[in-house]
Structure 1
Amino acid sequence: MPQLPQLTFDRLRFAFSRMKERLWVKPLVLCVLSVCGTFLAMLADDLGLAGTVPRINRASVESLLSIMASSMLVIATFAVGSMVAAYASASTGATPRSLPLVIADDVTQNALSAFIGAFIFSIVSLIAVKNDIFDSAGLFAIFILTLLVFAIVIITFVRWVDRIARLGQVVNTIEKAEKAAGDALDRRRHAPTLGAMAVSRQQPGHTGVPVCSSTVGYVQHIDLETLQSRAETLNCRIVVTALPGTFVSTSRPLLYVERDPQQDLEKSEDTEVFKPDAFASAFTININRSFEDDPRFGLLALSEIAGKALSPGINDPGTAIDVIGTLVRLFTLWQSPLEKNRLQALCYNRVSVPELVTDDMFDDAFTVIARDGAGMAEVAIRLQKAFCALAETNDQAMGAAARNHSRMALTRSELAMGLQEDINAVRRAAEFSADGN
């Protein structure tokens, strides 16, 4: 029987962040609040306010609620249709990987929640009013609540109209992908090993017991608190080999459990204590990658947007150039000075986690653009200027990666371009890589 995952604060944080991609969460909360608001209005009758509040005509309240009930259902249906169209546009015009970012748009979710919540409030309140549940004070409370809901719906609708006009457009999707990637990169640069010990990717073969996944998919999240707890129980060390974003199978180890060479974990007296499922349960694995704990996924999504823009069917080099500028900003953020008050302290001294490799991040960000834009002079030149800007930073690893990708991009352009003047222009832009600056 598979080991159930422990409920930890870090796991709750990740689950809460993933809830933003569920369209039903906010509407459900607003529906509950709407029903509660109707029943709370009954308390006004119990407070003895009948002689102090104005008397409201019951027919006028019924009329307002009837108008709201009929109109909110239409608006909610229209909102869903507009949202579906925007999601389809984001998926086809940018990249399907950006769809979770578009779905998680706060303004759109708040609008749909307000429309559905107002509809539920009007239906429940209308039933209560028609059945004479309220006295004069309760009726006045319902009247005030109805006006308040009307005001909220109008303000929300005005904001939503402005947002829905841009939702799903490529420029808006690039902005959302940049923010998601920037947030993930900023968190990771202040916690390069997620609060655990550091381990090098070039470390020789592990001698510990490998723990593999029981499912096939991408690692979305690692609960290091659970791993630390298990390591303390077994008096061992854990070396994580699969960072968030890694594709794992039933034969690829998620981690290695290392212990004293004189003690064999699988043959010692602690056999019933050592349960691989207890370690594997700390990994959240899904068929898709997520932006929350996977900085490389944001870079890859931006690269895919540029790659689609460079396809012959779309032929939009301007979007690819915009993405290149976005990637330069993200890598500049990655190597910018750290804020000491935000650095994550070492919390998990029995767990080792590898850091992100700059070369891998450059592969995710620039390989597709360099390949698909090799024959376009404007894209190739802008790409070389981006590499020049990144090579001039104080980060040696980033400088080496920028020069390496500059040489590869130049080679691709020389093979793809037919006009010598275009090739010479790209070479001039790439001169910094030849002299090692």
Structure 2
Amino acid sequence: MLRTFLRVFAQLLRRLVSRVLIIASLALVALAAAVFIGPVVPDVVVEKLGVDSLDTILNILASSMLAVTTFSLSILTGAIQFASSSVTPRTRLVLRDDTLTNAVLSNFVGAFVFALLGIILRATPFMGRSESALLFLMTVLVVLIVIGSIMRWIDHLASLGSVDASLESFETIAHRVMSDFVSRPALGGHVMDRDEILSHSGKPALVAERAGYLEQIFEDYLQVEAEECGVDLYIPARPGDYLLPGMPLAWIDGNTPDKAAGDRLRSGFRITSNRLFEQDPRLAVIVLTEVASRALSPGINDPQTAVDVVHRLSAVLMDCAPKPGAEGQEDPAGDKDRIVNTRLYMAPTEPDVFFRTSLEIIARDGADRAEVREAIEAALDRLQTYGGPVVKEAARASRDRLVQGPAD
């Protein structure tokens, strides 16, 4: 359960609204501390601080932060629109959760909330000279934070939404997601061939109740619930699959759960209208491929960006196959299985899928570009030479398909 909780918590923290609420809450705590701790501030400190200028500083901070926040949000919106039209619509998935952007904007909003509440408190009997002295010190700290945030924001704006910055972000995400996939190909459960999973299709099924993408699987939660129900779950779907109502989320082996237990098991599968990078390495590969396809379109005509994407994809595909010792597979010593979620059975995505949805798509779209064809040939050569056994075989099969003709 801890792994699932930490993953969901990290996803929430990446959202702008979460960071804004946290910073605003810290502003409230700071103001409350000024009221309660202020009376113990020594008189000598109160006399030396410029408390009389506090109202002016708070007013300037409140008015300027409101304007800066509004302006910054308009820039972010424009960057998302530009990147969506010139790079790929999926750029919003990265810019929406960009750590630096969200940190800077939340600091601006937090400073605005701090200044606004500070102005209100100054008009109440709770704020004497001692409390105002402590509030003055906190205001100076907030001003320093704002100055630092503005400097970071100016530097970040130079690349926000650009093709190069977007590609770098996509590649970083792809490496992270692919690394998680190869280390936990079955999310800590048993690794099985897809045919073995499908052989259990005659068993009772836990089915989807709505249409949408399988965004993520809460594997720790499913393990606990399956243990309580005394069942094993054979899961045919992978995060990123599109499901319709009635399609199986898992086939159940063991005691047939009642409706309440079935609903609890079903809540371990999150189905939404969008895909998420976590647990979905196919999406990370597809997004990089979309950048290359967009660059090769007649309206943009930028084959060198496509070549750059091919190089980056070769680095990602180098490690797209689970290795011995990964969770759910036999460890290098061969004496035991590293199974964490013993009630779950899944089939990992085959390396062929990654090649079909990346290099072969780019080969189709760039068939009339010699530099793109040469880059793909070089990428496949590298993968066949330096990749692991499974990757070498997938690269060889991909080359054979390309010789026969690009994917339709």
* Length-normalised TM-score, structure 1: 0.84
The offset of 1:273, in angstroms, is: 7.0
Describe how 1:288-307 pairs up with structure 2 within 5 A.
Answer: 288-307=274-293
Retained in 2: the 8 A contact 1:216–1:248?
yes
The aligned residue for residue 334 of structure 2 is: none
The counterpart of 1:182, out of the listed 175, 178, 198, is 175
The aligned residue for residue 45 of structure 1 is: 38
Change (3 A) 1:336 1:9: closer
Secondary structure at 1:214 match in 2:
coil
The counterpart of 2:247, out of the listed 247, 252, 255, is 252
RMSD of equivalent CA atoms = 2.6
Q: For structure 1, which segment, 278-287 or 153-162, has the greater mean C-alpha deviation from structure 2 after superposition?
A: 278-287
Retained in 1: the 8 A contact 2:277–2:284?
yes
Task: Kindly tell me the number of residue pairs found equivalent between the two proteins.
Answer: 398
Describe how 1:155-170 pairs up with structure 2 within 5 A.
Answer: 155-170=148-163
Question: 1:103 is aligned with what amino acid?
Answer: R
Q: For structure 1, which segment, 42-51 or 91-100, has the greater mean C-alpha deviation from structure 2 after superposition?
A: 42-51
Q: Distance in 1 between matches of 2:262 and 2:38?
A: 61
The aligned residue for residue 369 of structure 1 is: 362
Question: 1:257 is aligned with what amino acid?
Answer: I
Retained in 2: the 8 A contact 1:190–1:338?
no
Q: Distance in 1 between matches of 2:240 and 2:288?
A: 15
Change (3 A) 1:53 1:106: same
Q: Distance in 1 between matches of 2:93 and 2:382?
A: 31
The offset of 1:379, in angstroms, is: 0.5
Secondary structure at 1:238 match in 2:
strand
The aligned residue for residue 217 of structure 1 is: 212
Retained in 1: the 8 A contact 2:296–2:306?
yes
After superposition, give the CA deviation of every residue in 1:113-145 in whole Å (9 maximum; x if it has no partner): 111111111111122224453222222111111
After superposition, give the CA deviation of every residue in 1:354-391 in whole Å (9 maximum; x if it has no partner): 12211111112223211111110000111111011111
The counterpart of 2:19, out of the listed 17, 21, 26, is 26
Identity %: 28
After superposition, give the CA deviation of every residue in 1:70-120 in whole Å (9 maximum; x if it has no partner): 211111111111111111122111111221111111111111111111111
Secondary structure at 1:379 match in 2:
helix
Q: Distance in 2 between matches of 1:138 and 1:274?
A: 55
The counterpart of 1:236, out of the listed 212, 224, 231, is 231
Q: Distance in 2 between matches of 1:394 and 1:367?
A: 18
Q: Distance in 2 between matches of 1:337 and 1:200?
A: 15
Retained in 2: the 8 A contact 1:14–1:221?
no
After superposition, give the CA deviation of every residue in 1:193-223 in whole Å (9 maximum; x if it has no partner): 2111111013253232122100111112112
The offset of 1:409, in angstroms, is: 3.1
The aligned residue for residue 432 of structure 1 is: none
Q: Distance in 1 between matches of 2:394 and 2:316?
A: 15
Q: Distance in 2 between matches of 1:253 and 1:273?
A: 16
Q: Distance in 1 between matches of 2:283 and 2:146?
A: 36
Describe how 1:2-401 pairs up with structure 2 within 5 A.
Answer: 8-47=1-40, 49-131=42-124, 133-203=126-196, 205-206=199-200, 207-259=202-254, 272=258, 275-334=261-320, 345-401=338-394
Q: For structure 1, which segment, 371-380 or 200-209, has the greater mean C-alpha deviation from structure 2 after superposition?
A: 200-209
Retained in 1: the 8 A contact 2:317–2:354?
no
The offset of 1:332, in angstroms, is: 2.1
The offset of 1:14, in angstroms, is: 3.2
The offset of 1:154, in angstroms, is: 0.6
After superposition, give the CA deviation of every residue in 1:25-80 in whole Å (9 maximum; x if it has no partner): 11121112112212211233332523454344543111111111121111111111
Q: Distance in 2 between matches of 1:274 and 1:140?
A: 58
The offset of 1:183, in angstroms, is: 0.8
After superposition, give the CA deviation of every residue in 1:236-270 in whole Å (9 maximum; x if it has no partner): 322111111111112321111123xxxxx56xxxx
Bigger Rg over Cα: 1
The aligned residue for residue 428 of structure 1 is: none
